[in-house]
Structure 1
Amino acid sequence: MSGPLYVPVLPARPHAVAAYRRLRPDVRAALMPLWNLPPLPAVGSARLEAAVRKFVAPVSGVHRHHDGWIDAPFAEDAQISGLADALSAYSELGRLRPVTGPERTEAQQTAAVEVARRCGCGVGVRVRVATEWDGGTAEAVRMLLARACSTVPVDLMLDMSSVLGDRPGAGKEALRALDALFALAPWRTAAVLGGGFPRVTGDMLEQGLREEPRTDWHMWSEIRASGRTYLPSLGYGDYGVQPVGALAQVPQPDRKGGPPWGFLRYTTGNAFLLCKVLTRGTERIAVNRRAARQILGLPEFREATGGAGEHWLRACADGPATSGRGTGGPTEWLWVGNVQHMTYVVRCLSGS
C-alpha cells in the first residue's frame, strides 16, 4: 500500500483553492487534499446542484493532474441523494474521490460506494475520533466495508478532529484506533488527520508575536515513535492554519465589516507563530509591514526552501510605507498561511 505523503484537510473555499494553486509543482505532487463542502442549511434540491457547483467547480479546476477527496460532512439528511448526484459529476472526471464514514446514514454510505463503483475511483472512509476511541466504531466500519463488497478500493482517514492541549492522550487514542482499523481491510491508502491550530482571539495577539504549540504534530511524533508495523503505510494529515471548527462555518454573503484586525501565520517545527495585522485604520500599513518584518526576522524563516507564502511575506515587509498595496486582507492572509504551512509540512515529511 502506498499513498500521499500529506493529506491537508481543506475547506472548499476560495482562499484554500488559491493556496493549492500557488504550491510548487513538487509540493502539490506530494499531497492529496481532503476538500470539505461547507454547511448548506435549508438549500433544497432545486438549488443544490448550483450550490455544489459554486464550491466544487473551482476545486475541480485545480485538480486536473492530481487526485483529491471531496466530502460533504455537514449534509442534511434531505440533501444526501442530491449531493451524491451533484458530486458524482466531479468524481467521474477521475480526480475527486467520494467520502463516507461509519457515522453517516446508510443512504449516504450506499450513495458514496455506488459513485465510487461507477467511477472506478474508490471511496474514502473518514473515521472520526473526537474524544476517546470507541471499540464499537470498528464494527460500524466493518458493516460499511461490507457494503463496498470488496469491489471498491477503500482509503482510510482516521480523523482525530481537534488535537489541542486538552487532549494529551490523543496519540494513544489514535494508536488504539489504528490497531483496530488496519485489521479490517486491505486499505489502498491510510492517513491520520488532526487539527492543532487554536481559535484565535484579539487579546491573544496584544503582546506581539505569539507562539502556539503544534499539538497535532506532537501527536504524529508519538504515533511515529510507537514502532507499529503499519507505520510505513501511514500518511500524515492536518487541518492547516485554521481551527477544526472553521470547516463548519456557514457561507455568508459578501459584505463589508468584520473585526478591525487579523493575523499572519507562520509554521515552525513545534509551533504556530501568530502576529497581529489590521484590516483598516490609519496605522494599517505600518502595522502590517512591521508584522511581516517580524516573521522575516525569525531564525526559522525559510527564505531559500519556502514558496509563494514566503515570497508574499518578503514583498509585504519590503513594500513602501506610503502605499497599502501588498499588505493584504483576511482572504490573502489565509492563503499565504496555508501555502507556507503545506510547503513546510511536505519538506519535513520528505526529509528535504
Structure 2
Amino acid sequence: MVEPSYVPVLPTTRAAQAAFRHLDVRARRRIAPLWTVIPRIGPERVRGTRPAPDPDTDPAELRRWLVPRMNSLTEVMADAAGWIDAAHVEALLEGSATALWHLATKSRLRLVTGPERDPQQQRYIADLAFLSGRGLGIRVLLDGPPDEAEATELRSLVERLGQPPDQLDLILDVGLVVDPLASGETALIALDLLAPLIPWRTVVLAAGAFPRTFEDHHTQPFRVLARHDWQLYRSVCAARPGLPRRVTYGDYSVEHASSANIAPAQHRGPGWGLLRYTTPESFLLARAPTRGRDHVVRARATARRIVEGGAFRGDGGTGPSAGERWLHSCAYGDGPRGSGNAETWIQAGHNQHMHFAMSQLGATG
C-alpha cells in the first residue's frame, strides 16, 4: 500500500466501520486504519494482558460471531489498506482461525502482533502474514518509557519471526495521554531506541486523548477538551526534526483508548449519548438524551449549538465530510427521523474526525 498519511486506531464496531465506509475516496486513499477486534464476551480486557482464565471458551460460538464480522470489515475496507489486530480473540485458535485466514487471504489488511504476546500466537500470525504477502505490523504498547531490555526483546521478536524489514511496520502505541509531558518523553525515547533497530517499512506513533467519562454532564452538558494526541505528535516532530524517516500520525479518533477492549454491551445503555466534533486543537463534546418525551427536540438543539458555533466547517449543509453534513441535517431537521442515537453520533464523530485529521495533516505538511 502507499505509505499512509494518517492511522486512526479504531474498534471493529458498526459505528466505526460505517464512519470509514462514508469517507470520500480521496481521504480513504491516504488513511490506513488500525482495527482492533473487540472481545466477544467477558469483562473489559486490560491493555497488554490476557485475562486468566479467558472468558471466551466456546470455539463454535466465537467462530459464528467472528467470521461474519470480519467478512463485513473486509467489504467495508474494499481496496483500502490498513492493519487488523486480533489480540482479544486469537488465543482461541479453533474459533478464530477461519476469520484470520479470511483476513489474510481476502482482504488488504496487514495482521498485527506484539512483543508481549504468546510466542505461539506470534508465530501463527507471522505465518499468516507471510502467506498474505502484505507483511506484518508490530504493535508496541508504550505504557512507560522503553528500556534496553525491551529493545532487545523487540529485536529478538523480529529475528524470530524471520520477516524482511521491508515487510514490517512499527506501531508505537502510547495509549491514553494523561500527562502530555510524560507521554511526549516516552514517545521520544521509543523513537530513539526502537525506530533505529531495523529499516522499518512504516513507523506509526499513535496516542489517544478522548475522555473515557464525561464528568459533571448534568450541570455541564457542553465541554471543550484538548487534543493531547495531536499536540503530542507535533511536539515529537518538532523535537526530532532530523529523524531519518517520517513518523506517521495515529490517534484513537473520538473514542477513548480502551474502547476496543470492551465486549458489546448486553444491556440497555444510559439514556444519553455524546455528539462529538473535532477542531484544530480540541474536541467539542455535547451530551444529548436518547430517551424521554422531548429527547428528539433536545438532541437537535444540541446539534444546532455545534453547527452554529464558530468552529463548525459545514455551513449550509455542504460540509467537507459526511459527519458534518449529518450534523447540519440533524440540527435543522424536524421530527424523530434523522435525529440519530448514541451509535449514530459516534459514527458521525468518527467520520468528521478522520476527514478533519487528514486535511489537517495535509495543511501542516
Q: TM-score, normalised by structure 1?
A: 0.92
Structure 1 distance, partners of 2:341, 2:244, is: 40
Equivalent in the alignment of 1:163: 177
| CA deviation vs aligned residue, 1:226-253 (integer Å, no higher than 9, x gap) | 1343375210001110111111111234
Contact 2:59-2:94 at 8 Å conserved across structures? no
Matched, 1:97 2:97: no
Q: Which residue, out of 131, 135, 140, partners 2:153?
A: 140
How many equivalent residue pairs?
346
In 1: Cα distance, 2:299 partner to 2:244 partner: 42
> Are the structure 2 counterparts of residues 157 and 58 from structure 1 closer, same or farther at C-alpha, using a change threshold of 3 Å?
same
Q: Give 3-state SS (helix, strand or coil) of 1:233's partner.
A: coil
Aligned equivalents of 1:198, 1:131: Cα separation in 2 = 20
Report 1:49-64 matches (<5 A).
49-64=63-78
Question: Structure 2 CA distance, aligned partners of 1:184 and 1:284?
Answer: 55
How much has 1:268 moved relative to structure 2? 0.7
Q: Is 1:335–2:364 an aligned residue pair?
A: no
1:10 matched residue in structure 2: 10
Residue number in structure 2 paired with 1:188: 201
Unaligned runs of 5+ in 1: none
Which letter does structure 2 place at the counterpart of 1:127?
V
> What's the CA shift for 1:90?
1.5
One-letter amino acid matched to 1:299: G
Separation in structure 1 between the aligned mates of residue 332 and residue 245 of structure 2, nearest angstrom: 43
5 Å-filtered alignment, 1:64-79, equals 64-75=78-89, 77=91, 79=92
Superposition pairs of residues 1-352 of structure 1, within 5 angstroms = 3-40=3-40, 41-75=55-89, 77=91, 79-80=92-93, 82-151=95-164, 153-164=167-178, 166-201=179-214, 203-204=216-217, 206-230=219-243, 232-253=245-266, 257-303=268-314, 306-320=320-334, 323-351=335-363
Aligned to 2:45: none
Q: Is the 8 A contact 2:74 2:107 kept in 1?
A: no
- Given that 2:71 and 2:102 are in contact with CA atoms closer than 8 Å, whether structure 1 keeps it comes out as no
The alpha-carbon distance between structure 1 residues 137 and 58, as it changes in their structure 2 partners (threshold 3 A), is same
1:186 Cα deviation from its structure 2 partner: 1.4
- In 2, the alpha carbon distance for the partners of 1:344 and 1:252 equals 29
Distance (whole Å) between structure 1 residues aligned to residue 7 and residue 218 of structure 2 = 29
Where 2:32 maps in the other structure, the secondary structure is coil
Q: Secondary structure at the match of 2:216?
A: helix
Kept in 2: contact 1:133–1:174 (CA 8 A):
no
Q: Which amino acid aligns with 1:106?
A: P
Query: Which range moved further: 20-29 or 294-303?
Result: 294-303
- 1:13 maps to a residue whose letter is T
* AA in 2 matched with 1:18: A
Residue 224 of structure 1 and its aligned partner are, at CA, apart by 1.3
With the length of structure 2 as denominator, give the TM-score of the two structures: 0.89
Structure 1 pair 186/81, CA: closer, same or farther in 2 (3 Å)?
A: farther
**Deviation per residue, 1:75-94 (Å, 9 max, x gap):** 474x1465355312212124
Runs of 4 or more above 6 Å deviation: none
Partner of 2:43: none
1-structure distance, mates of 2:5, 2:90: 32
> What SS does structure 2 have at the residue aligned with 1:276?
strand
User: Structure 2 unaligned runs (5+)?
Assistant: 41-54
Kindly report the root-mean-square deviation, in angstroms, between the aligned alpha carbons of the 2 structures.
2.0
Q: Cα 1:277–1:231, aligned 2, differ >3 Å: closer, same or farther?
A: farther
